[in-house]
Structure 1
Amino acid sequence: MELEAGFEVALVAAEPLVVAPVAMTFDGDGRIWVAEMDGYMPDTLGTGEEAPVGRIVILEDTDGDGKMDERTVFLDSLVVPRALCLVNGGLLMAEPPNLWFYEIEEGHPINKSLVDSAYAEGGNVEHQPNGLLRGLDNWIYSAKYDWRYRRLADGTWLKEKTHFRGQWGISQDDWGRLYYNDNSSNLSGDYFPPGLGAGNPNQRRVAGYNETIVGDTRVYPIHPTTGVNRGYMEGVLDSTGRLVNFTAACGPLVYRGGLIPGTNAFVAEPSANLIKRNVLTEAGFRVTGKQAYEGKEFLASDDERFRPVNLFDGPDGSLYILDMYRGIIQHSTYLTPYLKNEIAERGLTLPLGMGRIYRVFPKGSKRRTVTMPQRTDSLVALLGHTNGWVRDQAQRTLIDRQATDAASDLRTLLTSGSDSLQCVHALWTLEGLGLLTVADIRTVLARPEWQVCAQALAAFPSLSGTATQKERIDILNAVIAKNDTLLAPYAALAVASLAPGDDSAVMHTVEQWAVQYADNRYITDAIISGVAGHEARLMQTVTKQVPDTSKALYRHLSAVVDEISGQTENHNQAQLAKQYPAGIALFRNACQPCHGEDGRGVSPIAPPLAGSEWVKGDKERLMALVLYGLTGPVDVAGHTYRTPEVSGEMPGIAHNSAIDDAELAQLLSYIRNAWGNNTGDELVGEDLGGVRAKFGDRTEPFTQDELHELFGKD
């Protein structure tokens, strides 16, 4: 490995102590819980991937030398387990399609219960929910998913809609904002709290969420990396055979360990055997970033089997790396003939059954693993620790223990605590204990730091069961009256918890706010997100009081109203699914992860299928596109989609032997008639055969211009 000067990398665990690690978490005693996906891609066909060989294991350092030396199998006989989270004294674990919860008694799993039978339904191993990050706001968030979870003290689970985020891996910063990416991007994230702004299903996008944080996707491997899925394409590799841009970006981590100065976001790239460092900068509520340096990486290996797939903070302040350590990292669904040949030529199928965990830290740094104490006052003190992992764990431990005796000390921190982050953790600990009051929110809003005040607004919806409507609207009115453009978006996002459409007086107030900030896209989108079902009323007010139709409020609200009016034209999706059962199954596995269940596209991965001329137009052109793929910018419904708005390429499936032409014909029939496309066409397998005969063993994806030249332009 080549590592940035001034840093050191150390081995924490290796096979046979750990095998194929894909996710991990520390418990309060400093032990590492690991999800082992041992069944992933045993060969290029994925033969035996359904075998129950996955595990959840616990690794422990019994002699204090920093290396794990004891392994305990907590759960075995699992099929590709992909995520885990310790919560309320138990383990939440994702084993597709299910999300399970196990209570723990004397170190053993008991009372297995099903939290969600559709957590990772459909999709494939590369495109299924994962992460299970227990956020600052006490909810559990996932990448590649738009739902969040929370376990209450009585053992019941809540499930709520949230924003769709990322692909593999998810992280948070000190203010609880979430960060994520997809395989061809560097870093995306939210400007605002994760639990707000997702209340309107008709709103395509909410400003301040799914923002590009670092747009530069260049990577700098230290050896030729020809074994990438699209290595045959011009521009994917440079003249020395090295990857040019991210192709398998994953596991983003906003480092909060307290040992590395500044705000840093690290991103893993297993296809190029490296880890990138980005430096983030805040300007108000906006976060931007750039690569830490050009022409080199934070950590890079010349070992092709070094496959960093996830990154984590730890109780000693180190950055922890999960290395699957294997040759095949691309899933069979999209595996190109080119990469199959690369794998065969260099024998990358073997060895299997390996895995590593490393940690990186500044040379000479004073590291001490912090474990969670028994005393409540000691846990409260740790809410101000320099290591973000320790602060998070102290908050979680207080909540999991239902330490209501901490209330007085926590409220003291709200009032007189000099540490902003300690105050914030005290606020969310009170929220997690069910003790948060109107007085607490007012106390925090009186503090001078705007970021801390913003957290009070993020926690504001928790008052819905304890405070009166008048008390709550008074709080938001007081914030808006200050004309503070930093806090106003948070207040507008919090409006949804007031159910403004059900309260005429509140709705009137919200309409006034909307007009006041008609050209602020963040506040505009925040307000729209909270008035689901009442957009028409708001539109009437806008039409009367906002004569300038170029204002953000008018444009964004009009788009939502148009979306609602267009829904009545949609086909009955359930009926189509019955008509094309093989097609809908293939769609959910291969297409839905990128294009969305509703066909409206998933940002920043793929454009919409609903209303797309590529779907509704020449069916032979569509077949060629799906079989062989599409690369580069693409025009859909009058808009040009290019990176970073979407991924730069849609992979073809012509060479996937697991998909036959009859299934593919059903898939194409389904999408050509779904979401209002209504072509009335029904394709058969022979149609695909004709296109295959025309283009033979072509491996390169088409460009838009090529397809227009071959088949014409609609």
Structure 2
Amino acid sequence: MKRLRYPLLLIFVSLTLLYCKTNKQARSTSVSTAPAQTAPNEPIDFTQSPFLTPEASMKRVQLEDGFELKLVAAEPLVSTPVAMLFDEKARMWVVEMPGYMPDTIGTGEDQPNGKVVLLEDKNRDGVYDNRKVIIDSLVLPRAICLIDNGILVAEPTNLWFYTLQNGKAVGRELVDAKYAVGGNVEHQPNGLLRGLDNWIYNAKSDKRYRKKGGKWLIEHTHFRGQWGISQDDYGRLYYNNNSQNLLGDYFSPGFGAWNKNQRGVAGFNEKAVADNKVYPIRPTPGVNRGYMKGVLNDSLKLNEFTAASGPVIYRGALFGSGFEWNAFVPEPSANLIKRNILTEKGYVVTGGQAYRGKEFLASMDERFRPVSLYNAPDGALYIVDMYRGIIQHKTYATPYLKNEIRKRELTQPLSAGRIYKVVPKNKAVSAVVLPDVPEQLLQLLGNPNGWIRDKAQQTIIDRNYLQLVPGLQKAAQSGNTLLAIHALWTLEGLGKLTTEAVLATLEKPVWPIRMQGLTAIPSVITSASEPKITASLTKLLDANDTLAAPYIGFLAHSIAEFNPSAAHQLLTRLSKAYPQNRYVADAVTSNLQDQETQFEQELVASVSDQNATIYKQLRRATATAKNALANRNPEVLKKQFPKGEALFTSVCQTCHGIDGNGIKSLGPPLNQSEWVTGNKDKLISIVLFGLTGPVKVNGHVYQTPEVSGDMPGIGYDKDLPNEDIAQLLSYIRKSWRNNAETITTEEVAQKRAKLSGRQKAFTEAELSGL
């Protein structure tokens, strides 16, 4: 491998120079139909994964009939892109992460070589031709958000706000020093999605942000996703984790995350699409657990998602009505993009895959790594292709995967990257540049393209166009649902939304309008307006508005600030009217931290069925609270096992939770788990080399999709000291309600030496023999 590195680098430099000379010609390339347009009589050798020019890579793509793939930017114009967004001038702001995994052991990953760059299409032909570095010297940057007169930049552990002036960053403000504390590069917050409700939401995080009155607000909301986040036309959020196709929220994002005793709230982190099957068109042995039974099929192709990343709800209108409420999800380890079709039934959103046996887009090029997808000013679907061989972080890279990387020489080159767009064939496509004319921006709030509507709303707010308030008030009452929704939230962003305007929406027969009105109530409620708001919510209850019922439960939280008695009465009425509705039950419970038992006792007079869902959810929260009281002091343990606590925070916490009780769709509990407090050899073996397949914890069998089917080991990292691992194991054996014997450095060293050379994760059956 070392002998080949420099010749490969020379080849890459030659390709780059060739690309620069033929820049315009190269970027006019497109590919549209399946099968892939490979050169005549040129079979593909899948034992090799050569670095390909954008043109050659595109020829290895199969795409849904009727569409074509167009290259809009590539190296040297852009390098290692991981995230992007458009501004009102249709310029692309791109996050570059060249520091990610320079080799299989991550050499130099901490170097400040990340950038935020601005790409422009000077001649408006749809191909970007100008690059400007806006911010550099960043360490592994991962997300950006344009807002007000600047840009938010996520650079773990910090979230920065840079003021922009004449295309330059002229000042920097620290918004959150703990934006991304804990977790390795694969498990740190990202996204920075500017939502319909004017808050900024994140994946792999429970925080949301907002700039108001010159100050940054930070609130805790639901923990969501892993890499990438998107929203639908009504502001509901969608995300995923590496093994889950698509997760999402049934309700507006700011509600219901107030009761620390609740282990999840129904209607959030729901499986929007439960089917995780994928259909690669090339063998994909280069996945981390490719050696395990069931990961690959007989053709060595990946069976299910293992690296699902930045999804998007397509809202561009360009593709036609059949693509409304479609969710696209990239799978970089299988070199494909999945299409899902979503369906609404009341407030529940579910969906399924658009095809069986094929994908919307799939590539035969192993280095094609779609990591994020976006809506755009021209209505196209944009693809951020990191274009590189190594996509797995060193923390989890198995010897098997490292061998696959070596066999096909996937380490170099490192500075490539492409951005594509998918458009319908034979259809005129042009980007919309938003006008700096307030009245025209107002009209764009009803545009069929969701990106344009969002950006028009944000631009009016950022420029504080208060002269539009009368027009916005009128638009908020119009019969155009999308225009009315955006007008409502634009007024909210300007600080000009009134209680009367919100209550008027609750009278509308169209559910999406009522939904937005209910969502906006916390923005307008005051001591003076509370009686009117309570009366309107009571009226919805009297009318048996089943769609509004969970929202009323969530809104009791806002009402309680001004009228606890009225809030309590609403919760009681909801419980009596919908005792078996799990969404209402959890909405009610979200208001009752440390009051669950008292409320349960009061409810007996109204709800006689002791097995009703409302009682079950209240008791579950009560049990969680009691268990938490018995937990050990984490600060004491942190001092006793500092390296163990740090390792837990960076590696384990992301899947098993800060409270050790596991995280939905990711990992089972460590708290009071017999695998943690029991046999030392079993625990050491699991942490060193991983655990795969179903596992029984305290009598319950955990398996996909309830949790990820595979827990990676950390023993493959030869640079990780035995002492640190011993501290980690001792830390979790003493944390929460666990009180098992500590594990010594010598015990880890002995087991590590005994298992040296092992490549496979353990199974429960195998561990039973230890």
Residue identity in the other structure for 1:212:
K
CA distance in 1, matches of 2:258, 2:532: 22
1:385 and 1:189 mapped to 2: Cα distance?
A: 25
Counterpart of 1:84? 144
3-state DSSP of counterpart to 2:152: strand
Equivalent in 88, 93, 115 of residue 28 of structure 1: 88
Query: What SS class does the counterpart of residue 545 from structure 1 fall into?
Result: coil
Q: What percent of counterpart residues are identical?
A: 54
* Counterpart for residue 234 of structure 1: 293
| Equivalent residue for 1:192, pick from 231, 247, 251 | 251
Match of 1:380 among 436, 442, 446: 442
Tell me which moved more, 235-244 or 388-397.
235-244
1:284 is aligned to: 346
Asked if residue 107 in structure 1 is aligned to residue 167 in structure 2, the reply is yes
Deviations 1:492-530 (A, max 9, x none): 122211236972343133222222211111011011112
Q: How many residues align?
A: 707
Q: Which residue matches 2:432? A: 370
Instruction: Name segments (4+ residues, structure 1) moved above 4 Å.
Output: none
**Letter in structure 1 aligned against 2:217:** L
Where in structure 2 are the equivalents of 1:408-419 lying within 5 Å? 408-415=470-477, 417-419=478-480
Whether 2:364 is the aligned partner of 1:305: answer no
> C-alpha deviations, 1:55-104, integer Å up to 9, x for none?
00000000011010000100011111000000112100000100000111
Distance 1:249 1:65 in 2: 32
Corresponding position of 1:223: 282
CA distance in 2, matches of 1:532, 1:251: 34
Q: Residue 174 of structure 1 aligns to which amino acid in structure 2?
A: D
User: Deviation digits for residues 356-375 of structure 1, max 9, x if unmatched?
Assistant: 00000111223221122122
What's the TM-score once normalised by structure 2's chain length? 0.90
Instruction: Write the mapping of 1:49-198 to structure 2, written as runs, cut at 5 A.
Output: 49-152=109-212, 154-198=213-257
Instruction: Give the aligned residue type for 1:25.
Output: L
Which residue of 1 is the match for residue 27 of structure 2? none
Alignment of structure 1 residues 430-449 onto 2, 5 Å: 430-449=491-510
- Residue number among 523, 534, 556 corresponding to 1:462 in the alignment: 523
In the other structure, the counterpart of 2:673 is 612
Q: Does the CA contact (< 8 Å) of 1:273 and 1:307 recur in 2? A: yes
Pairing of 1:251-290 with structure 2 (within 5 A): 251-260=310-319, 261=321, 262-290=324-352
CA contact 2:122–2:129 (8 Å) conserved in 1 = yes
Distance 2:192 2:372 in 1: 13
State the Cα RMSD in Å: 1.3
Q: CA deviation at 1:469?
A: 2.6
Q: Is the 8 A contact 2:534 2:566 kept in 1?
A: no
Match status 1:640 vs 2:701: yes
Which of 419, 423, 442 is residue 361 of structure 1 equivalent to? 423
Report the more deviating stretch, 692-701 or 510-519.
Answer: 692-701
Q: Provide the C-alpha distance between the structure 2 equivalents of 1:702 and 1:494, rounded to a whole number of angstroms.
A: 47
Q: Cα–Cα, structure 1 residues 234 and 501, in superposed 2: closer, same or farther, change >3 Å?
A: farther
2:569 & 2:505 partners in 1: Cα distance? Answer: 27
* Farther off after superposition, 400-409 or 97-106: 400-409
The CA deviation at 1:466 is 7.0
Partner of 2:610: 549
Offset, 1:273:
0.7
Ranges in structure 1 where 5+ consecutive residues have no aligned partner: none
Code of the residue aligned with 1:462 in structure 2: it is S
Kindly state the Cα deviation for residue 537 of structure 1 after the two structures are TM-superposed.
Answer: 2.5
Equivalent runs, 1:265-664 vs 2, <5 Å: 265-415=327-477, 417-465=478-526, 467-499=528-560, 503-664=564-725
Mapped contact 1:316–1:368 kept (Cα < 8 A): yes
Amino acid at match of 2:500: A
Residue-by-residue CA offset, 1:12-50 (whole Å, 9 max, x unaligned):
100010000001010001100001001110000000000
Task: Call closer, same or farther: CA 1:300–1:312 in 2, change over 3 Å.
Answer: same
Secondary structure of residue in 2 paired with 1:584: helix
Partners in 2 of 1:471 and 1:662 — Cα distance? Answer: 62
CA distance 1:501–1:463, shift in 2 (3 Å): closer
Checking the alignment, whether the CA contact within 8 Å between 2:442 and 2:468 is kept in structure 1 is yes
Per-residue CA deviation, residues 205-238 of structure 1 (Å, 9 max, x unaligned), is 1111100011111111111111111111111111
SS at match of 1:220: coil
Structure 1's 568 and 218: CA in aligned 2 closer, same or farther, altered over 3 A?
A: same
Residues 380 and 604 (structure 1), Cα distance of their counterparts in 2 relative to 1, 3 Å cut? same
Do structure 1's residue 688 and structure 2's residue 748 form an aligned pair?
A: yes
Letter in 2 for 1:4: E
Residues 1:206 and 2:265 are matched in the alignment: yes
What letter matches 2:76 in structure 1?
Answer: P
How far apart in 2 are the matches of 1:642 and 1:96? 32
> Which letter maps to 1:188?
L
Question: How has the CA–CA distance of structure 1 residues 145 and 102 changed in structure 2, closer, same or farther, with 3 Å as cutoff?
Answer: same
CA offsets, 1:309-366, max 9 Å, x none?
A: 0000000000000001100000000000000001111110011111000000111223
1:501 and 1:534 in contact (8 A); partners too? no
Contact 1:546 1:554 in 2 (8 A): no
Which letter does structure 1 place at the counterpart of 2:119? L
Q: Which residue of 2 aligns with 1:46?
A: 106
CA contact (8 A) 1:37 1:80 kept: yes
Partner amino acid, structure 2, of 1:482: A
2: CA distance between counterparts of 1:397 and 1:336?
Answer: 47
- Check the 8 A contact 1:438/1:467 in 2, yes or no: no
Look up the equivalent residue of 1:38 and give its one-letter code: P
Alpha-carbon distance in 2 for matches of 1:139, 1:295? 39
* CA deviation map 1:274-298 (0-9, x unaligned): 1111111111111111111111111
Q: C-alpha displacement at 1:4, in angstroms?
A: 0.5
**Distance 1:500-1:508 versus aligned 2 partners, 3 A rule:** farther
- CA displacement, residues 104-136 of structure 1 (integer Å, 9 cap, x when unaligned): 111111220000001111111100000000000
Letter in 2 for 1:92: L
| 94-103 or 566-575: bigger deviation | 566-575
CA contact (8 A) 1:501 1:533 kept: no
For the residues of structure 2 that align with 1:319 and 1:150, how far apart are their CA atoms?
27
Mapped contact 1:500–1:531 kept (Cα < 8 A): no
Matches of 1:300 and 1:630, distance apart in 2: 30
Distance 1:71 1:146, change over 3 A: same
Deviations 1:372-401 (A, max 9, x none): 212211111001001000000001011111
1:192–1:285 Cα contact (<8 Å) kept? yes
C-alpha contact (below 8 Å) 1:219/1:246 kept by paired residues: yes
Change (3 A) 1:354 1:375: same
Provide the C-alpha distance between the structure 1 equivalents of 2:528 and 2:699, rounded to a whole number of angstroms: 48
Q: Which amino acid aligns with 1:610?
A: N
Give the partner amino acid of 1:673.
K
8 Å Cα contact 1:599-1:609 kept in structure 2: yes
AA aligned opposite 2:106: G
Structure 1 CA distance for aligned equivalents of residues 593 and 498 of structure 2 = 27
1:47 is matched by which residue type in structure 2?
T
Alpha-carbon distance in structure 2 between the residues aligned to 1:537 and 1:479: 27
In structure 2, the residue corresponding to 1:119 is in which secondary structure?
A: coil
Cα distance change, pair 501–441 in 1 and its aligned pair in 2 (3 A): closer
Native 8 Å contact 1:17 1:70 kept in 2: yes
Q: After the TM superposition, which of the residue ranges 468-477 and 19-28 deviates more from structure 2?
A: 468-477
| In 2, Cα distance between equivalents of 1:240 and 1:228 | 14
Amino acid at match of 1:203: Q
